[in-house]
Amino acid sequence: MESIVELEQVEVLFTESGKPFKVRRGGRVWSVAVEPTVHFSRVRWWEHGRRIPRGSGTRIDYAVWLVQVRLGSNERSELVSWELVEDTWNNVWRVR
């Protein structure tokens, strides 16, 4: 399994309820077209040689959203499935 920092960084916009609805990747804006689902995974800190400082507030669980997106708002654009992976160490989102 690749390291999370090897994944491409993307910008994710969320609804007020906390669900992703737009993703900016490679200068293009993709729209979430199907209701996204989320699950949580655990940081493998021992593989990165990092320790989570006590009291730092850094979480050991991170969100992974499964989204189906299409380019822009074109209803005829082909659906593509991505996993949006929360990088809690760097406070960014990445795509797998």
* pLDDT digits 0-9 by tens, 21-46: 999 999 999 999 999 999 998 766 66
Classify the C-alpha dihedral 69-33-21-3 as positive or negative: negative
How many domains is the chain built from? 1
For residue 63, give its domain range: 4-95
Q: What is the pTM of this model?
A: 0.82
**32-49 core/surface letters (b: 16 or more CB in 10 A; e: else):** bbeebeeeeeebeeeeee
* pLDDT digits 0-9 by tens, 51-95: 666 766 566 789 999 999 999 988 899 999 999 999 887 889 999
